A and B are shown apart, each in its own frame.
Chain A
Amino acid sequence: MMANGQPLLSVRNLKVAFPTRRATLTAVDGVSFDIAAGEVLGVVGESGAGKSLTGAAVIGLLEPPGRIIGGEVRLRGQRIDNLSKEDMRKVRGKRIGMVFQDPLTSLNPLYRIGDQIVETIRTHLPVSEAQARERAIALLQEVGIQGARERIDSYPHAFSGGMRQRVVLALALCAEPELLIADEPTTALDVSIQAQIITLLKRLCRERGTAVMLITHDMGVIAETADRVAVMYAGRIAEIGPVRDVVQHPHHPYTRGLMGAIPTLGPQATRLVQIPGSMPRLDAIPKGCPFHPRCAFAFDRCRAERPDGMDAGSSKVACWLVAQNAAGAPA
């Protein structure tokens, strides 16, 4: 938890489920985390870990039949997970902005980009059409679109992928939200463009004091962008802590395996660390710790009881091994 009391976003024991004919699948199972004002929290995990669903649940954009079946989401202390559709719509865009992987899911191809930004500004802020347009031009300049005054009347197809993502960033930030949820914002982009967008995202959020929940599968992007990181596995947080600790001294066996599995540019290991098997399907999440069938250190307790949030340094780790080490040899 961060300084001066209340976190900006507080998620407690969040559960998201998909009812199916056979059984109810729990895709996000008891996730808790906080984001302080101005902080960047990275959420990292492999496909199916539940990271995007956690983001979607926070902004109330879960696709039916998926729904929140437990826990709470608070924005500056106010519960937002039980708001009506209409009230949530006001929070979304105004107080929480969004950026998705594919910029074309956020941009309507039939409208000029300027009109889309102006509409969003006027929905959330009491300004005139002309003021909103000036503001849109200023924003487009700020996100690095050259000749913004001329290009504001272009359609999305006239922009390249990287430029579109800049427009989406402008759109997400136009109502000065307190929190930005960015779901794989750079995954579809080339490395040289990815670096541009990440640098831009960091700069904009720092200047405005916007907090960011950065969802990605790319540990490299997290390492250089986030203040803290949550590693997700099978719908749960395996490890959460300051980014430097998690990247350089991971505690959870899954995080350790994940870090070793990433090829690096430095001195070469002949073999990458290999985690045997693959992430369990939602209908077959093992009892106890969901990682135990793939874990080299698993013991009886891992198979029987679910671990959660053990303290390890400044991180919280869901692993009985950490609890055992803490009890056996106090650090």
Chain B
Amino acid sequence: MTMMPLVEAKSLTRVFDVSKPWLNRLIEREPKAYLKAVTGVSFVIGRRETVALVGESGSGKSTVARMTVGLLAPTAGTVTIDGIDMWAAARSAERQQLRRRLQMIFQDPYASLNPRWRVERIIADPIKAFGLARDGAEIHHRVGELLRLVGLDPADGAKYPHEFSGGQRQRICIARALSSSPEFIVCDEPTSALDVSVQAQILNLMRDLQDRLGLSYLFISHNLAVVRHMATRIGVMYLGRIVEMAPATELFTAPRHPYTRLLMDALPDLGMTGRPRRPIEGEIPNPIAPPPGCAFHPRCPWAFDPCAVDVPQLIDHGGRAAACHAVETGRI
């Protein structure tokens, strides 16, 4: 892509202070404790592109999502949207303008809609906040259009969220996200709370909307199959770092990083090829005290000497990147 990417995240890092209260620390003589949720995560998202981050719980994918959309300030690193640095942008006008262009869809459609508001008010809120309509009639008209766009009836605007099923609520969330005419939407596990048949409806809708409105997505999920279906490029996260980043097809046909390989092996096999499922040994380490060197080395069957010492860097080879000493030295 020669054009400037729409979204560029550069070495995003986020540290959370998880220390005990001051008095406890004093009595128990414990130092402050920090949790490095995300370390040095970089990616770019082009226009009309879907980039996905996939990983298990605690891998930091949701933290990246929240930093990218501006809900959480990074400890270090930058997020640039269309050339504007989100966290350096001058307070008022520029940042406000930027905010209109990004939206977010959350995992739980039950928790992310105000139960006391009618659907019309929920969807109209961003329109009012950004002053995108002149009067009430125009807002009403726009909300009707949005509801139709996501496959609901304009008359549904008069109802309350509890009158809808989970899938319909997620449609309302999508309509709300679209109401400020954004270019970029961060989707944090948008279908994880939904049944498969409803998930299929929502995923199809999201792809249709992308084609129609030219949206870019950052898609966060733990489900590799969903990510495979939605994304053009995929980053695999483990303990706060991207360990592999590759175009979707290549990632699945020829995974390089040991963690990605093992993750693919661990997936249940719907094709029933009789392929034995090889579980990954051990568990995800405690992020407060991660292992030295490569965080995956205690579980990695290919680990050798440098893995326990040096943190491998994410090295790009023709659009495919893996952070692994064994891959780098050609051992696997």
Residues of A within 8 A of B (CB): 46-47, 160, 162-163, 190-196, 198-199, 217-221, 223-224, 243-244, 247-248, 257-258, 260-266, 268, 270-275, 278-279
Contact = CB atoms under 8 A, between A and B. Distances in A.
Given A192-B266, A223-B269, A217 B195 contact: yes
A268 B248 CA distance: 11
A265 to B, nearest CB: 6
B229 A263 contact: yes
A248 B228 contact: no
A191 B229 contact: no
Nearest to B229: A263
Interface in B134-172: 165, 167-168
Interface stretch (B103-111, B219-227, B308-316): B219-227
B226 A196 contact: no
Contacts of B57: 190
B295 to A, nearest CB: 14
B283 interface: yes
Contact of A224 (B200, B252, B269): B269
Given A271-B207, A278-B167, A266 B271 contact: yes
A261 B197 CA distance: 6
5 smallest beta-carbon distances between A and B, as pairs: A220-B268, A261-B200, A195-B279, A46-B195, A263-B229
B270 A247 contact: yes
Interface residues of B, number: 39
Interface string B41-76: 000000000000000110000000000000000000
A47 B267 CA distance: 22
Interface of B: 56-57, 165, 167-168, 195-201, 203-204, 207, 222-226, 228-229, 252, 262-264, 266-272, 277-280, 283-284
Contacts of A244: 272
A191 B263 contact: yes
Contacts of B203: 263, 272
B200 A274 contact: yes
Given A263-B203, A265-B267, A278 B279 contact: no
Given A261-B200, A265-B224, 16 more contacts: A46-B197, A190-B222, A190-B284, A192-B56, A192-B262, A192-B266, A220-B269, A224-B277, A248-B272, A260-B200, A261-B196, A264-B228, A265-B267, A275-B201, A278-B168, A278-B197
10 contacts: A46-B198, A192-B284, A195-B277, A198-B268, A199-B279, A220-B267, A261-B199, A264-B228, A265-B264, A272-B203
Contact of A190 (B56, B165, B201, B207): B56
A43 to B, nearest CB: 15
A162 B57 CA distance: 12
A193 B283 contact: yes
A136 to B, nearest CB: 22
B270 A262 contact: yes
B227 to A, nearest CB: 9
A191 B267 contact: yes
B225 A265 contact: yes
A149 to B, nearest CB: 20
Nearest to A259: B270
Nearest to B54: A191
Contacts of B279: 192-193, 195-196, 199
B204 A192 contact: no
A304 to B, nearest CB: 25
A47 B167 CA distance: 12
Nearest to A221: B268
A247 B272 contact: yes
A44 to B, nearest CB: 10
